[in-house]
Amino acid sequence: MRKISILILALSLVFCVSCSPGCRRIRGGVRVETEGGTLQLRFYDPATVRVTRSAGRPVESPSFSVVKRPEKVRLSSRQEGECLVLSSEALTARIDRRSATVSFFRPDGTPLVAERPGGTLRSQAFLLEDGESLYGLGQHQGGVWDWRGHELTLQNNNMEIALPLVHSSKGYALFWDNYSTTQFSDGPDGMCFSSEEGEQGDYYLIVGRDADAVVAGIRSLTGQAPLSPLWAYGFHQSRERYVSQEELVGVVKRYRELGVPLDGIVQDWRYWGMDNAEWNSVEFRNPAYPEPRKMMDEIHGLHAHALISVWPSFGPKTNIYQELEAIGALLPIETFPPDNGVKVYDPFNPQARDIYWSYMKRHIWDAGLDAWWLDATEPEHKNPQASDFAFNTAAGSFGAMRNAFPLYSCGGVYDHQRADAPERRVLILTRSATVGLQRYGAHCWSGDLTSGWDALSWQIPEALHFSLCGMPYWNSDIGGFFSAHRYPDGCRDPEYRRLYLRWMQFAAFTGMMRSHGTHTPREIFQFGGPGDFDFEAQKECIRLRYLLLPYLYGTAWQVTSAGSSLMRALFQDWPSDPKARAVSDEFLFGRSLLVAPVVTDALSREVYLPEGGWFDFWTGERVAAGMQTVDCPLDRIPLFVRSGTILPVGPDVQYACEKPWNSLQIRVYPGADGSFVLYEDEGDGYGYERGRRSEIRFRWDDAASCLTICAREGSFPGMPAEREFRIVGVRPGCGINTDRDAADVTICYTGEEMTVTLP
């Protein structure tokens, strides 16, 4: 009876909301009638809450970005005068009916963020604390790191990715769920989102104990990021543009002849022909590509893969244009190339998405192409007119849906390929994004940059802002897209060569290492040949990427399985360090490698190393924490490894899958305890989702100088039955740089737990 009485008391606390006048209990929250309309609050899980504000009954249509369904959340509630307080185990919401506002707190009463009175259906301001920093909002030019005190127009355009999501240094994210052009501002009156269109105010608050938990919460809400195929993490060569299948195959052959690792080659536009009326026919109409199947057989025979450019717009002489026009699925906006009758399709129309994929499959996928470069998914919009935004797409006005375009366009390709070819992982490279795009296997890049040191310096904060929005895979054109504006002599210009090399060093630590641009070809052989400085420096940079593949793939698995981040702002690991929070020109690649790219034409730079032990990757020397001035020879990027790191070193290969990982060097960086999970699977396909994968956990006990290699968990077809591990304790001159041979102890591992003591 006592237990029953306690249960009745608990239930009365949960449901007492329904007894308050003007309040109505709903599943996971409450609906409150106010003078200005209806305020609804619903918990999706203990750390995530949705708030909607409407003139009448809230619109129950689902979010385009959000895929999570509300969980059953245990809530308690109480009245405090005119305020209703609703609490989960992770978050408290205080609804003030007089001002029709909501304030949020941690369970211990620590304030998080509060609405400012006066919110409307399309605008809401929030009161922040002094000293609080804001990150996120997508990807934007200019190098801004902390968005406090700034204004920004959130509209997808080339080089601008609009994500109306802020990530606070206080451990929460706020996602303003609106897809029309939105103004962000922060000033004395608060932080505000104000959108051009919308039926109701709608936002989500996600809280976490730290930044990693917040990112994981964003992914839980908007979708997890699948693994890309292993080859996607290798090196990719592109150009605007290769003009024939002979040239495309020839570049791959040249890389193989030179012994430079390569996994991907990218075919840019006009394989469909030169007539803009036949723009993006999604067919090989260009006579320079007479046998695409033969082209792909040759590329695959060289153990490489090909991505191909497909746009969301079509010339009036194309077959796909005619089919889309027949069902009314073309938007009446002017797009690139202008004055040619080219039209953008309506990706919100499911029938249009079917047609789009049918052409991609029949003419490209079935010819053997491996992955998609979905260009201009903003989409390109020239000379915008008011009537453009009023046009009704299949999901609402173009003005209301504009920023959701890449989500639907990329999502349609992902869903169709997974349905038709589940044995191959979807890989999409795209120029724009919507919150949630990570669930579609998308890697975003920073657009058509003008080459220069300023543009290179902006890439680091852009990448970190993007990552803090829950988007793990980002990259940029190595060397910048438009080179001729500042470097008309291209790769013959010594300064451009230096810029290109520094950019490549940075790109080795991004989600996709990819060279691309116009005006000057930039394949490695354009910079010289074996023995020449630029050639050798670039080759070693690419080899470093492949050396790190087991570490990178293991980190990618943590992104997929645990909501982790690949490119990490320093404050994610040192949240209480104000200096770490201010750093915008360094980042962690995974949890162990601190990367300090050189973004000026200089041979030294200042580097901040947060508290803890550090090693110079190149020399094995220990480096003290704090601000350091480091030398940066032109062929070396400042790279530091945390004490306690266990770093698996990949074999020397020409492509990612050339050799199995049955013989690896395992580097141990002493000075702290640590762990790492060596992850493997078939390298492609989605068998890993069904358990076809293996994990080997390494644990380092620093006090005992003992490395435990745990029993292998799981298996997959083709998995090595036993492995050679060459284990080395890193020290000056040993276990450094790209040396794969150094070892203190060599063991044969057969899947059972083993313990190794290092000298």
Query: Nearest-5° angle of CA 501, CA 506, CA 509?
Result: 135
Strand partners, 305: 264
Amino acid symbol at 513: M
Tell me, yes or no, if 753 is annotated catalytic.
no
> Closest Cα partner for 158 from 347, 435, 399, 382?
382
- Report how far residue 543's alpha carbon sits from residue 742's, in angstroms, rounded to the nearest whole number: 17
b/e string for 177-190 if b means 16 or more Cβ within 10 A?
Answer: bbbbbbbbbbeeeb
Cβ burial, residue 750 (10 Å; 0-12/13-18/19+) = exposed
Tell me if residue 702 falls in helix, strand or coil.
coil
User: How many CB atoms are closer than 10 A to CB 19?
Assistant: 10
CA-to-CA separations, 688 to 231, 545, 721, in angstroms, rounded: 16, 24, 18
Phi first, then psi: what are they for 592, rounded to 5°?
-115, -25
Question: Which among 378, 477, 573, 616 is annotated as catalytic?
Answer: 378
Is the peptide bond prior to 337 cis by the omega test (within 30 degrees of 0)? yes
Question: Which among 263, 448, 616, 680 is annotated as catalytic?
Answer: 448
CA-to-CA separations, 234 to 149, 258, 652, 658, in angstroms, rounded: 39, 17, 12, 12
Residue positions counted in the chain: 759
Q: Report which DSSP code applies to 13.
A: H
User: Which contiguous run of DSSP H or E holds residue 387?
Assistant: helix 386-390
Amino acid symbol at 660: P
Question: Which among 115, 186, 375, 684 is annotated as catalytic?
Answer: 375
Classify residue 103 as left (phi > 0), alpha (psi -120 to 50) or beta.
Answer: beta
Query: Nearest-5° angle of CA 536, CA 266, CA 434?
Result: 115
> Closest Cα partner for 476 from 497, 507, 451, 499?
507
Tell me, yes or no, if 448 is annotated catalytic.
yes
Greatest Cα pair distance in the chain = 87
Amino acid symbol at 311: W
- State the helix-helix crossing angle for 453-468 and 494-507, rounded to 10 degrees: 10
**Tokens standing for residue 640:** 């530091």
- Report how far residue 237's alpha carbon sits from residue 427's, in angstroms, rounded to the nearest whole number: 16
Tell me if residue 628 falls in helix, strand or coil.
strand
> Closest Cα partner for 744 from 724, 730, 723?
730
Contact 539, 515 (CB under 8 A): no
Tell me, yes or no, if 212 is annotated catalytic.
no
- Report how far residue 680's alpha carbon sits from residue 682's, in angstroms, rounded to the nearest whole number: 7
Residues whose CB falls within 8 Å of the CB of residue 41, separated by 6 or more in sequence, listed in order: 29, 30, 32, 49, 50, 51, 86, 93, 95, 102
Q: Report which DSSP code applies to 438.
A: G
| Residue numbers annotated as active site | 375, 378, 448
